[in-house]
Structure 1
Amino acid sequence: MSKKIGLVAHDKKKQDLTVWCSQVKEKLAQYDLFATGTTGQAIIDATQLPITLLKSGPLGGDAQLGAMIVEGELDGLVFFIDPLTAMPHDVDVKALIRLATLYDVPFACNKATADAVLTLF
C-alpha cells in the first residue's frame, strides 16, 4: 500500500514547491499524491507526476486535506508557507497545521523540512 502525501503552497511559494517536486520527482513518483487545485496543476505541468487534484485552498482544498488527515488517509503533508504575506483564508491554514500536529502527521513547511519528511518514507 502506497503512502499518501499532500502538497500545497501559498501563491508566492508555488514556484519553490514546484522546483522541489522537480528535484525529488523520482522519489515522489513512489507515492500517491494529493494537492490543492492550483498548486497541484502547477506541479503536474512541471513534472507530469500523477496527482489527485482537490479544490483550490481558499475554496476548501485545505479542508479536504484536513479531512484526509482526520480519516487517517494522509501520511505526510508538504505545505510551503509564505510567512510574509497575510492570507485571507489564514484560519483554514491554521486548522490544517493544527490537524497535522494533533494527528501526528509529518508536516513540512519549507524545502529543508520537506527533504527531511521525505526521508521518513
Structure 2
Amino acid sequence: MDVALRVGFAANVAHHQSVLRDCLSACEQGVRELGVQLRVVGRTYDAIAEAGLLQGYDGLHKYPYGRDGGLMRLVAEVVGLGPDRTLDGVIYLIDPVDPSSIFPEALALKRQCVIHGKPFVSTMAGLRDWLEMERVTRGLAPDAQVDDLHQFEAQTLALIAHDALKPQMLAFVERNFALLSRFGQRVGTGTTGQQLNELARRLGWQGPGDWIQRFQSGPLGGDAQIADLVLQGRCQRVIFFEDPHVARQHEADIQLLERAVTTRTRSVVCTTSPPVAQRWCDAAQARARARGASH
C-alpha cells in the first residue's frame, strides 16, 4: 500500500482569494484520492477554512503562522526530523511582489527542496501538474481536466542548468529525448543549449533547424531573455537544474526568471532538480500511454 504523501503548504496573502480557491477546487479530487497529508502554515490554513475548501478532510494539519515560525518548521521537515516529521515536498504559491517570498525561511525552503531532490511547487499550474503526475504514478486514471498542461506540441520548454549540473542535464535529455522532442519549441541559455544541440545531432535529430534555440549565457542575460518569453505567455514549462551549493554572481537574473514564472502562476510549470524532473518524465510518458489507450 502506498504511503500518503506529506506535503508542506503555504501561499502568499495575495493568493488567499482567487488563486488558492481555484487551485484547491481544481485539485481537491486528487488530494482526496491520494490522501495527501497537508501541513499548512497558519494564515493559509485559515484562508482554506474561510473559503470552505476541503471540508471534512482529515489530511489538513495547521502549522504555526509565519511570524511564529511556520515556514521555518517546514524547512526543517524538508531536511527531515524522523519518520513522522519528514516532508515529501512543498507547495508554496508565491506572489512575486510579496516581500515575504524572499525572506530567509522562504529562500531556505526552496533551497532545501533542491538539495534533497524534493518537489518545490510555486505555481497553480505546477500544483495541478504535480498532483496529476503523482496520481498517474500511483496507477490512477489520467484526469482529462489536466490535458491542457500536456499538449506539448503547442508549448515551449526551457532547459537550463548551472555548470556543475550540465552533465546531469545532458544525461536527463538523452534519457528522455523522445518526450522532450515532442515540445513545439525548446529554448536554453548559451553553453547548455550548445551542448544539447550537439547531443541531439549525435542522437540523430533531423528536425528543421537546431533542436534547441540558444539565448545568451545566464551571466550575460539569458535568464532574462527566457523570463521575457515566460511573461509573454510564449514559454509554458521550465526545467532548471539549479546548483544550490555555489555563490551565483548573476543571482538577480535567476530570481528574475523565477519571479516571471510565479507571475504566470496559472499557466507555467517550473521544475528545479533532476530527480523531480525524471519522475515527471516517467509519469508524463505513462500518462500519454494511458490517454492513448482510452481513445
TM-score normalised per structure 2: 0.39
Aligned residues: percent identity? Answer: 29
| Paired position in structure 2 for 1:43 | 196
Q: Judge which range, 15-24 or 43-52, deviates more.
A: 43-52
5+ residue gaps, structure 2, are 1-152, 206-210, 289-295
| Paired position in structure 2 for 1:90 | 251
Contact 2:242 2:272 in 1 (8 A): yes
Mapped to 1, the partners of 2:280 and 2:156 lie a distance apart of 12
Count of aligned pairs = 121
Greater RCO, 1 or 2 (C-alpha within 8 Å, sep 6+): 1
Displacement after TM superposition at 1:113 (Å): 2.6
| Paired position in structure 1 for 2:223 | 62
Runs of 4+ with deviation above 6 angstroms: none
TM-score normalised per structure 1: 0.91
| Paired position in structure 1 for 2:29 | none
Q: State the AA in 1 paired with 2:274.
A: K
Contact 2:231 2:263 in 1 (8 A): no
Alpha carbons of structure 1 residues 53 and 72: separation in structure 2 relative to 1, 3 Å = same
5+ residue gaps, structure 1, are none
- Choose from 214, 231, 244 the match for 1:53: 214
Displacement after TM superposition at 1:115 (Å): 3.1
Task: Give the CA RMSD over aligned residues.
Answer: 1.8
| Paired position in structure 1 for 2:171 | 19
Q: State the AA in 2 paired with 1:113.
A: V
Mapped to 2, the partners of 1:116 and 1:66 lie a distance apart of 25
Q: Deviations over 1:10-62 (max 9, x none)?
A: 11111111110111000111111001011111111223351111111111110
| Paired position in structure 2 for 1:78 | 239
